[in-house]
Amino acid sequence: MKKILLTSHHNEIESEKVFGLPSVVVQDYKVFPFHAEGALPLVVPALTFSRNELRAMVAETDLVILTGGHDVDTARYGESVRYPTVEVYSCRDDIEFGLLEAAVELRKPVFGICRGLQVINVFFGGSLHQNLHHDVSGTFGHCQPKEDIEKLLHPIMIESDSFLSRIFPESPEIMVNSFHNQSVNRLGNGLSVSATSSDGIIEAIEHTVYPIYAVQWHPEKSYRVDVASQQLIRAMVAL
């Protein structure tokens, strides 16, 4: 059974009121698709880890999953916060950037989901639209209601010779959900675009050297009802 290191939502504010420490929140939908595909998900706790500790975690697992959640600290791409919608959790940033550093060093595969894609882009020197609906003219709504967890919202166009084209060789477009108000602005070094939406938003990326892949949507949310989501999760577990 493959071991998957899986990050999850950090709720620093509420838990600090009670314990003085951040906490990890793990929704079932983030875990069960990977277990259903034969992997053992291991969730990273919201603690302060040394570089060596993070490296040891990555060394003992087969795949790192960077899941969705709140926003990457704007200071990591050289900007100040411009909108009240930006919510930053430094503990999670520290963990995920450290895990990525270790994964690159050890050549371990990484799969980023939503925020995970944004973390990967910033890690490699890219930047983000802090609020794409303010920063990008002509974009359609990319943040559907949270209760529509399994609903697919819009198509994405898959680039030829990308990791997605290998997963979906007969489907240049697939339908995806959408739960994000940030997106890639400047693409990071060594990254290539794997898919876009019709309004030009980058929906998937991959690294040209390392086994690092990411999507802006949430296949784990639509896993139960969508065949394409199942195929994508299955392919990532098989990395």
Supply the residues annotated as catalytic: 114, 218, 220
At 143, list the tokens.
Answer: 């943040």
**How far is 230 from 224, CA to CA, in rounded Å?**
8
Q: Are 187 and 196 a contacting pair, CB within 8 Å?
A: no
User: What's the residue count for the chain?
Assistant: 239
Q: Exposed, middle or buried, 52 (CB in 10 Å: 0-12/13-18/19+)?
A: exposed
Q: Are 111 and 63 a contacting pair, CB within 8 Å?
A: yes
**How far is 99 from 134, CA to CA, in rounded Å?**
31
**How far is 231 from 53, CA to CA, in rounded Å?**
33
